[in-house]
Amino acid sequence: MTPSSEAPPDAAELRARVAAFVAEHDPATTDQTEFLAARYDAGLAWVHFPKGAGGLGAPRALQNVVDAEFERFGFVPVDREGLVIGLGMAAPTIAAFGTPEQRDRFLKPIYTGEEVWCQLFSEPGAGSDLAAVGTRAVRDGTDWVIDGHKVWTSLAHRAQWAILLARTDPDVPKHRGLTYFLCDMTAPGVTVRPLRQMTGEAEFNEVYLDEVRIPDSLRLGGVGEGWKVAQTTLMNERVSIGGRPEPREGGLIGIVSDLWRSRPDLRTRGLHEELLRLWVAAEAARLTKERLRQQLAAGQPGPEGSATKLSFAELNQRISGLELELRGVEGLTYDDWTFRRPEKPDLLGRGPGFRYLRAKGNSIEGGTSEILRTIIAERVLGLPPEPRADKDLAWKDLPR
């Protein structure tokens, strides 16, 4: 192993570190949790995090190098789907704003998967306008007392911990009166109920917070700085993109294309035209995602991530709609309305009716397509903001 120095490690040094690590911990025989814990201790969990926090202070782009290297040695972690909030949102935010104690307490079990996290952000009255959240946090000695109602919380029924955005000061404009907390989901006063969606199943929950006490030591960032902290969380939500190229016809377009190939009886001229248009659009979207992946791997992140989300939402909706039309009488059926609680939506495994309905959520979840268009226009293209009524008014005086 290269001796450690002040300069952050480069790709070659990271490869050497992975090789040395794997020599000590055989991926084939080591228990996954143990392996991940050791990887965290070695600074090879998130190499761009600081030393002692699972990282080595390396450039972010080099994380891809490390992941690819571990994969080459045969280590691909399994059962990580339930950890997306912890890994993708809580960890980078805690790394950026957490106290040393908070980092020590939370980052490692997030990485190993021993603690599941959820996100308590959206509310019935604060969807696209997230900064309008009304869940109150009131100081009481060394604690904060939380009262409110959160929605669209995936994994809340399984989570030990949550990232929470709450209002600590209703008397200042909305962006300035928010504070960010880490909330124990097993604390008294936390009630989780499934939120059944139009597909019949419940991926999400509503969470009621009734006089939940959170110690001030679990506040992340300063009082009133919650919006700034939340930006880090949301930024990371949008940059998450897979490390491996997606194959041609890998998504929904593959299902419809195979159906077209195997069922000549279903073919019509109009649907052929639509299928080809969607095939072209899907392939363009796939290559765009692949280009973004190559940019990230080369350390040149671009704003194209929001383009990818927008176009996949529209494509999934159009392709799943086409599939129903193509199937004719089968398109009138639905595979199963039974209420259930899936880990994640199974777009490829479920029936065409499910795909059609679930895809409706794609342009709403994680930022509506309309909000994304505004973000692209204002932040990427630099167009001026719309005049706003809510910027200088105290939150409590806003129309609602």
Looking at beta carbons only, is 299 or 349 nearer to other proteins?
299
**Which of the residues are catalytic?**
237
The token pair at 166 is 């709450």
Token digits of residue 203: 């991926």
Q: Are strands 117-120 and 161-167 parallel, antiparallel or unpaired?
A: parallel
- Which of 76, 80, 163 is CA-nearest to residue 119? 163
Separation in Å, CA 8 to CA 5, 11, 45, 89, 300: 8, 10, 15, 24, 18
Q: Which is nearer to other proteins, 1 or 276 (CB)?
A: 276
**Smallest separation (angstroms) from other proteins to the CB of 131:** 18
Instruction: With both helix axes pointing from N to C terminus, report the angle between 252-262 and 304-327 in degrees, rounded to the nearest 10.
Output: 30
Considering beta carbons, is residue 97 or 260 the nearer one to other proteins? 260
Contact predicate 33/112, CB 8 Å: yes
| Minimum distance from residue 304 beta carbon to other proteins (Å) | 5
Residue number, 111 or 279, with CB nearest to other proteins: 279
Is the Cβ of residue 286 or residue 358 nearer to other proteins in the bound state? 286
Taking the complex as a whole, the smallest distance from the CB of residue 66 to other proteins amounts, in Å, to 21
H/E element holding 136?
Answer: strand 136-140
Indicate the residue among 3 and 270 with the shorter CB distance to other proteins.
Answer: 270
Contacts of residue 32, defined as CB under 8 A and 6 or more positions apart, other chains included, come to 77, 78, 113
Structure tokens at 172: 């200042």
Shortest CB 77 distance to other proteins, Å: 23
Instruction: List contacts with other proteins (CB under 8 A).
Output: 245, 247-249, 257, 260-261, 264, 267-269, 271-273, 275-277, 279-281, 283-285, 287-288, 290-291, 294-295, 298, 300, 304, 307, 310-311, 370, 372-374, 376-378, 380-387
Q: How far is the CB of 331 from other proteins (least distance, A)?
A: 17
Q: Whole-number minimum distance, CB 61 to other proteins, in Å?
A: 13
CB 186 within 8 A of CB 192: no
Helix spans in the chain (H): 11-24, 32-41, 62-72, 84-85, 91-97, 100-112, 226-239, 252-262, 269-297, 304-327, 352-359, 369-375
Closest CA to 296 of 63, 91, 88, 12: 63
- 95 with 110: CB under 8 angstroms? no
